[in-house]
Structures are given as C-alpha cells and as structure tokens.
Amino acid sequence: MQVYYMHKDGISVGSSMFTLLINITCVLFVTITLSLFNLIFNYQYMTTGLLIFFIFGTFINTCAIVLFMVGMFSTKISDKIANFVKRCVSRHYEKKIKRIKKLKLPHSEALITKAKNKSESRLAKIEEQAGKYKEDAVLIKQNKKIIIKTLIIYYFQYSLYYLISYWAYRAIGLNEQTWFAITSLQSIVYATVSGIPSPGAVGVSEAAYIGLFSNIIPEKLISSITLLVRCMNFYVFVAISGIVVIFAVIKSKKKGNA
C-alpha cells in the first residue's frame, strides 16, 4: 500500500522499496536493542513461556535485519531478485502468446504483437527500477549519517509509543510504578510478539501483556488496562488508517471521474 501511494506521488518503485526496507530494518533494530536493554531491569518478571517467545521474537527479528541488509546492499542478491522477476514476467507473456496462437483468431497477430510489446515494456521497467534500487543503495553507503538520523528518530518515536502504557496505567488510577518501569516492560512485550506471524499479533499481544504486567498490576484491573492499551496503541491506528484509505480511494475516484 505504501509503495502504491509513493508511486502515485511520483516516487519510483525501486526507491520506494529501498526506503521501506531501510525503515523496517531501523524499526527492527530499535525494537531489539530497546528490549534487550530493558530486559536487564525486568528479567525477574519473565516467565519461562514469555522468555521462550522473547528469544524466538528476537531471533526472527535479527534474522530479518541480516536478510534486509544483505538484500539492500548486495548487488548479487538484488540482481538475482530482478532476474527472477524478469523470468516470471517473460514466462507469463510467453504463455499468453501460446494461448493466442492456439485460439487462431483473425486478429491474433495484432494480439501477439501487443503482448510482445507489453512484455518488452515491463522488462525494461523492471531493469530501470532495479538500477534505481542499486543507485539508492550506493547513495546510502555514501551517506551513513542518514541511517544514524533515522535510528535516532525511531528511538525517540518508539519511546513515546511505549509511553502509551504508562498513561493508560495512570488513567485507571495507579501510580506506584515509574514511567520507566512501565515503558520498559512494554518494550519487552512488543519485542516478544513482534516475531510471531499473526496479523497485528492480535491475541498474542494481549496474552503477553497480561503475563508480564500481572506482576505489577492488580488482577482485577489487568484486563481493563490491557484492553485500554491495545485500543490506544493498535486498534485506534487501524481505524485511522482505514479512514485515511477510504478517503484516499474516494478522492482518487473523484479525480478519475473529473
């Protein structure tokens, strides 16, 4: 979705993909480092089950960082991916041309020519985007400060994001724990569930939150604060994103009809 809208704004697909990979890699790095740092102060709250999930999530995220870094900066890998996509496109149009030939329609020659032209156009575009992707990789290598700035921004952003739990904690009338204690536990919860292949880690996040925060929040309040936190740090964002997409689609349709 992001690549689609960036492309509509005039940003090439190659640059969009590279930008997203940079952002995802930085987010994963921030998630892992913050959680490992905060685990030093909260290891006593970790149960065996939570610790297993935490190790699994950290391992998956670390592997993803390595793969993304290799994919971004390895010319051989990016060339192999581009060649694979080109082969898939070529085979698609070859099969299409074969089907046209089998049908033996009166205007089959025109359809075959059209399919060949489309194939050549798509292959040329893939080659162009692959070249742009490699140019961006070289640019980032020459400007490493961009990565450092991105990491600093994400450290600040995610520190604020984890503060949501603290404000929810205060909202239900509790004040025994400091903001650092609450946010550090939240960072561990986020890292624990981030490697689980579930949409939004729905269900898993709630279970991990209850399992970890039940050590410092009374049992009668833990369910309420879990729902409050999840609404604030996930479901509200989903709702806002849905509304933005709906308005964007409506706006796009209006432009198309104009």
pLDDT digits (tens, 9 = 90+) for 80-136: 877 888 888 888 888 888 887 777 767 777 877 888 888 888 888 878 777 777 777
> Which 8-state DSSP code applies to residue 197?
-
Q: Residue ranges per domain, the chain? A: 14-76+144-257
What's the confidence (pLDDT) of residue 156?
93
Residue-wise pLDDT for 185-236, tens only, equals 999 988 888 777 666 667 778 888 888 888 888 888 888 888 888 888 888 8
Burial of 246 (0-12, 13-18, 19+ CB in 10 A): exposed
Query: How confident is the model over 27-34, as a mean pLDDT?
Result: 90
Quickly list H helices, the chain.
2-8, 13-42, 48-73, 75-103, 108-142, 145-171, 179-194, 204-213, 219-230, 236-257
pLDDT at 97: 80
| This prediction's pTM | 0.73
Average pLDDT, stretch 156-185? 89
| Phi, psi at 218, each rounded to 5° | -55, 145
Distance between CA atoms of residues 205 and 40, nearest Å: 21
Q: How many residues does the chain have?
A: 258
**3-state DSSP assignment of residue 258:** coil
pLDDT for 33 equals 92
Q: What distance in Å separates the CA atoms of residue 162 and residue 180, rounded to the nearest whole number?
A: 10
The two structure tokens encoding residue 22 = 């940079």
Q: In terms of Cα–Cα distance, which of 179, 186, 191, 178 is closest to 162?
A: 186
- Over 60: is that where the pLDDT of 62 sits? yes
